[in-house]
Chains A and B, each alone.
Chain A
Amino acid sequence: MNCQDYRDRVTVHLADGSETPGDHGDSCAECGRFAELARAAWEVAGRDPDQPVPGGLVESLLRSCRRPRRTDLTLLRPGAVAAAAVLAVAAILLFWPAKAGPGTGLMMDSDGMSVERYDLPAGAKAEAVAEEIRKTVAPETWGEGVSGLEVGDGYLRVRGPAEVQRAVREFLERHR
């Protein structure tokens, strides 16, 4: 083993213990000293403490994530987009920070339009559940395009005002 091999192994050993450097350092004074310094440098670098994510950054990011994903936009109809945007902005301004309820994701506003995902119990047929919701939960809103309902693998994603979200949640709880 030459000096460079030994020194590379020292680093790998410090990092994840996957290689042992061997005893070259015992017979080579410079490499022995290198190993000591290597441990010290590794330790000093680790002293840089983690810092919390700035609060404003988290809020800004979460606000962005309240918007529907690109794939969710299929739920929207052009006539409702402007009104929904106004409602969503108003809700954010009035109620931010919103408190998410049980089972809700960070896309939920306390009022106004929101997109929420509802995970269904194992074995539930998402299409059938969606159909039942369209028939029995605020049926007028689905037809008018005010609300949207997307069926996923084991979940439903609903876009609509707070009262529709609440009604969907209650419906699912009743039938759980």
Chain B
Amino acid sequence: MGEFDAFFSEHARPIWNYLRRLTGDSERAADLFQRSFLKAWTHFEGRTPGRERSWIFTIAVNQARDEMRRRKRDILHAVPPETLRNRAAVPAMPEEDRELLREVMRGLDELPSHQRELFLLVRYHGFTFAEAAAVADVGVSAAKMAVSRAHEKLIRILSGRLHLGSML
């Protein structure tokens, strides 16, 4: 198996899911997925061995940012309702849990993009704060702050869901 094949096999699924959650839109995620891996393919010889995961995530984050700049509007306003329905279509989950997850994911969509970038890296992909900060090109403290604010948003949603009132 070629090196790029192995690289692609290892990282395709995480990158797909990262972009899917980041954009909340399968079509945009597909476009960014292709752009990211084509960029990786073009520059594959220049990668640093052993740091491929951070490398491809950095490419994906930058592709998403470039796309946002091109669209000149925040991802917040670009999430079609249908995507949210698709995203939360988890057949094995009880309806009540599914509804809760749908709300949480909607909350993620409403986060500022830099918070969402970092929260997804840490929550779903196991990045440490230092790693996530490097990928997003921010300081570690800023990364912690962004993830904390994102988390607070989700807690607020859960708090309302459980009829506990606003705690924050």
Q: Which residues from chain A sit less than 8 Å from chain B, CB to CB?
A: 7-8, 11-12, 14-16, 18, 30, 33-34, 37-38, 40-42, 44-54, 57-58, 60-62, 64-65, 69-71, 100, 104-107, 117, 152
Knowing A16-B129, A37-B158 touch, does A48 contact B30 (C-beta < 8 A)? Answer: no
Contact B21 A48 (CB under 8 A): yes
Beyond contacts A41-B155, A57-B16, A69-B44: 5 other A-B pairs, Cβ-Cβ < 8 A, are A37-B162, A44-B101, A46-B123, A48-B104, A61-B37
Contact A52 B158 (CB under 8 A): no
- Summarize B's interface: helix, strand, loop or mixed: helix
CB within 8 Å: A-B pair count? 127
> What's the least CB distance linking B88 to chain A, in Å?
8
> What's the least CB distance linking A6 to chain B, in Å?
11
- Write 27 A-B pairs (CB below 8 A) sorted by A numbering: A11-B148, A12-B147, A16-B129, A33-B164, A33-B167, A37-B155, A37-B167, A41-B158, A44-B100, A44-B154, A45-B123, A45-B154, A47-B97, A48-B21, A50-B14, A52-B13, A53-B13, A58-B12, A61-B34, A61-B37, A65-B4, A65-B38, A70-B42, A100-B1, A105-B2, A105-B3, A105-B4
Chain B residue nearest to A65 (CB atoms) is: B41
Contacts of B42 in A (CB 8 A): 69-70
Contacts of A30 in B (CB 8 A): 167
Decide if B55 is an interface residue (CB 8 Å cutoff). Answer: no
> What's the least CB distance linking A123 to chain B, in Å?
19
Interface size on B, residues (CB 8 A): 52
> What's the least CB distance linking A174 to chain B, in Å?
22
Q: How far is the CA of A40 from the CA of B4 in the complex (A)?
A: 39
Contacts of B123 in A (CB 8 A): 15, 42, 45-46
Contact A104 B158 (CB under 8 A): no
Interface string of B28-60 (1 = CB under 8 A from A): 001001100110011011000000000000000
> What's the least CB distance linking A39 to chain B, in Å?
10
Q: How far is the CA of A48 from the CA of B33 in the complex (A)?
A: 19
The residues in B between 75 and 103 inclusive whose CB is less than 8 angstroms from any CB of A are 87, 90, 93, 97, 100-101
> What's the least CB distance linking A60 to chain B, in Å?
7
Q: How far is the CA of A106 from the CA of B12 in the complex (A)?
A: 14
